[in-house]
Amino acid sequence: MGASTPGIASGFVGAVGQTPLIRLNALSALTGCEILGKAEFMNPGGSVKDRAALGILLEAEEQGVLKPGGTVVEGTAGNTGIGLTHLCNARGYRAVIVIPETQSAEKIGLLRSLGAEVRTVPAVPYKDPNNYVRLSGRIAEEIPGAVWANQFDNLANRRAHYRTTGPEIWEQTGGQVDAWVAATGTGGTYAGVALYLKEQKPQLRCVLADPHGSALYSWATSGELSSEGNSITEGIGNSRVTANLEGAPVDDAVRIHDQDALQTIYDLLWQEGLFLGGSVGINVAAAVETARRMGPGHTIVTVLCDSGDRYRSRLYDAEWLKGKGLQQPERAA
């Protein structure tokens, strides 16, 4: 996934990955740990999902199922669809994206601007045959020459992170990493990195972060899939264990309330100058809780998934937050 000439990326594809680790200074000082965030918002498509999208497309090409001029269909909360559409433009494919109508207007609008055929659908549970993921699979079957990306259960997703994100973190920390903390939707980022890092350092702790409304915290702590409450976060949490998440190491789990996630992303903006999305609030708040549980002197890595620009009308709007029963954080004088 790199360029042949040092310092020159070969198109969009060559620019995916090799993102820096950013030390979160205020939180590192607060906890006595090194809290490091993998800056995935710096990928060319703007999110961590560029890696999964590229891995899925490359494997489909290698297997001969995605042919020149073909179509890629995916059900997505937004970021994977954005990454896929960028890549389809770069490699000569058509993108058909199925997205719940509950997702932010910024993401839906961006997909259309990029040239995807966007089909917005009602948000219904996975057990419903009209769930956006299941519907996208049926649509792919109806389009000649189409490939269903199937990011939730296509193991090319986690293999992309096993091959790239995990090794990058290991190299960037010089192997001095004690915990990996991440929320999961498809399971690809969490699992791919966890599997790689555990192979290098078996005592490393893999911690699953989860919002309310998701069943994965319960699954990780009790083995039972059950949920309580709800969350405004987009693209993370799940009611099932995906193929990508299955078999991944989970040593601990942390559940984060939306208000705490909000406070975290506002603090990251005010203290670090980083304008980030909602899932980052879950990840970083869980990394801080992991630091508290482990004690000072540890290095904890999490992922800064995407920019806050995709959620301006929601997470950074006081009236929208108020309508969801949440308080917009206030900056200290």
Q: Are residues 140 and 213 in the same domain?
A: no
Whole-number pLDDT of residue 3 = 45
Whole-number pLDDT of residue 192 = 98
157 with 58: CB under 8 angstroms? no
Q: Are residues 318 and 213 in the same domain?
A: yes
Residue type, 307: S
The tokens describing 98, both together, are 């199925």
Q: Are residues 170 and 218 in the same domain?
A: yes
Q: Are residues 294 and 311 in the same domain?
A: yes
Give CA–CA dist 54/73, Å, rounded.
14
Region of 64 please: left (phi>0), alpha (psi -120 to 50) or beta: left
Give CA–CA dist 97/228, Å, rounded.
29
Whole-number pLDDT of residue 333 = 73
The β-bridge partners of 54 are none
Q: Are residues 18 and 141 in the same domain?
A: no
Give CA–CA dist 59/261, Å, rounded.
35
Boundaries of domain holding 212: 11-43+165-322
Which regions in the chain score pLDDT beneath 50?
1-3
276 with 302: CB under 8 angstroms? no
Whole-number pLDDT of residue 4 = 60
Whole-number pLDDT of residue 201 = 98
Residue with tokens 């179509």: 71
- CA-nearest of 109, 111, 110, 108 to 121 is 108
Helices (H), 162-230: 166-172, 188-200, 216-222
Give CA–CA dist 183/265, Å, rounded.
15
Q: Are residues 195 and 224 in the same domain?
A: yes
Asked, for residue 244, whether it belongs to a domain, the answer is yes
The tokens describing 230, both together, are 């709800």
Whole-number pLDDT of residue 1 = 45
Asked, for residue 5, whether it belongs to a domain, the answer is no
82 with 47: CB under 8 angstroms? yes
Asked, for residue 222, whether it belongs to a domain, the answer is yes
Whole-number pLDDT of residue 2 = 45
Q: Which tens digit of pLDDT belongs to each residue from 233-266?
A: 998 999 999 999 999 999 999 999 999 999 999 9
Is 201 considered catalytic here?
Answer: no
217 with 210: CB under 8 angstroms? yes
Q: How far is CA 64 from CA 117, 153, 246, in A?
A: 23, 19, 26
Q: Are residues 234 and 184 in the same domain?
A: yes
The β-bridge partners of 209 are 183, 254
Distance of CA 58 to the CA centre of its chain: 19
Q: Which tens digit of pLDDT belongs to each residue from 46-66?
A: 999 999 999 999 999 999 999
Asked, for residue 130, whether it belongs to a domain, the answer is yes
Q: Are residues 175 and 300 in the same domain?
A: yes
Q: Which CATH number characterizes residue 281's domain?
A: 3.40.50.1100
- CA-nearest of 244, 32, 237, 240 to 126 is 240
- Out of 49, 67, 127, 201, pick the active-site residue: 49
The β-bridge partners of 36 are 23, 301
Asked, for residue 332, whether it belongs to a domain, the answer is no
59 with 87: CB under 8 angstroms? no
Q: Are residues 103 and 192 in the same domain?
A: no
